[in-house]
Structure 1
């Protein structure tokens, strides 16, 4: 059995199929780890959701910001972006079943020496603490009153973690760190405006994974989210968003031996680069 960790798909279903063929992925024997952002901006989000859901326990998925945005949109919350491509999901006959499945996916997955999260972890969090905090968000998403959480989930404040936080602000910080963060200060203050390369870090901020003393540094973190960062394979960081949606590559890493597999974005799936 092999485990393939796959970068952000974002509705690039043809690219995903080509990548799995290149990996010789067997749904009977192998497992996929998907770093989030299954949907949106690419042209085939509905097919992507149906395929991953159909894999059952052969696929482990963590939620990304676009997946959470879809859940918000489906309930009438948040703002639609002009480049969103989720209408096919919202109009699908199996819409409710798909959204229910998505709402029950994890925010963070920990197994052995690896932890998978879409964006990153704040420097003050150990992996064990982060997994517990992710569970708070998962519980809110799966509760009977989940719509109330979705109505209060989005926003960039508070911008830093404080263990005394309660209610929606507490859950919002957890969501923002695990699905939106790129840069943060040594004190753990997050910046959500800078989305470019490392050289474009705001003054006083660092890539979250370079903050000195980061408590999760002893665990290998598997992430996506940051296409401008590109593929980055380090002893304790496997950043797998290689910008497929923007005409780059879709990447998979076999965790057992770190063998890398990549395919070019399918010709009909790449979209022009734009500011989110």
Structure 2
């Protein structure tokens, strides 16, 4: 039995199946972790989501920013953008079933036995892993509630960036939690986000979220996607970047979560 974590699939169904074939993945024995952004921008989000759902308990997939965007588009909160490739999924006869499945995916997965945490974007340096788990659960509860559309609307409501504080109102906490877990690349030591910089050069005073030594997560094994510009290299042995830009014509990468051996296929 092996467990593999795969980076941002983004609707690249064919590379996903070729990667799993290369790994000799067998859902009866093996497990697949998906680091978010299952859909969008690639050619076949519908087949990707249907396949991941079909794996049932053999698949643990966390939500990424594109997955949240799909949830918001499905209930009319956001309009599809010109580069989105979600129309066929939203028009599919099983769209409601797929959206319902997506709503119940976790925001973060923590394997206590292995001491590994998987998240789409990252964990801010002001949080412990335990706090990240707690805040992720609050967001999960909101997305699974009867009022999930209300909470999605609050999550996507634009507001000025602010640092984390335990005194924030719940709606601001949920919005900031979603930003940390699904959008973060650069931040400062106080948890203020720089969401404008996407390459390798942040604004002055900001740095990659995983480079702050005071952060407890600095000593944890963390698997994350979201940041294709890193090309799978974080520079830290315990911080495993696995978005290698498949949707941009590069590769789809899987990591064995026990040996940390990497396997990739090219798009």
Could you say whether these structures have the same fold, taking a TM-score greater than 0.5 normalized by the shorter chain as the test? yes
Shift of 1:215: 2.0
* Equivalent-residue separation in structure 2 for 1:156 and 1:39 (angstroms): 26
| Residue matched to 1:227 | 228
8 Å Cα contact 1:184-1:207 kept in structure 2: yes
1:214 pairs with 2:215: yes
- 1:171 is aligned to 174
* Residue in structure 2 matched with residue 150 of structure 1 by the alignment: 152
SS in 2 for 1:216: helix
Tell me whether 1:194 sits opposite 2:197 in the alignment. Answer: yes
CA distance in 1, matches of 2:46, 2:25: 21
- Equivalent position of 1:184 in the other structure: 187
Q: Which runs of 5+ in 1 are unaligned?
A: 266-276
- Residues 156 and 176 of structure 1 are in contact (CA less than 8 Å); yes or no, is this contact kept in structure 2? no
Partner Cα distance (1:110, 1:95) in 2: 29
Partner Cα separation in structure 2 for residue 86 and residue 60 of structure 1: 22
Deviation at 1:156, TM superposition (A): 5.2
| Alignment partners' CA distance in 2, 1:57 and 1:264 | 27
List alignment gaps of at least 5 residues for structure 2.
none
3-state SS, counterpart of residue 69 of structure 2: helix
Distance 2:140 2:117 in 1: 16
Alignment coverage as a number of residue pairs: 263
Instruction: Find the aligned partners of 2:87 and 2:79 in 1 and give their Cα distance.
Output: 14
What is the distance in 2 between the residues matched to 1:36 and 1:232? 18
TM-score (norm 1): 0.93
RMSD: 1.1
Q: What TM-score do you get using the length of structure 2 for normalisation?
A: 0.96
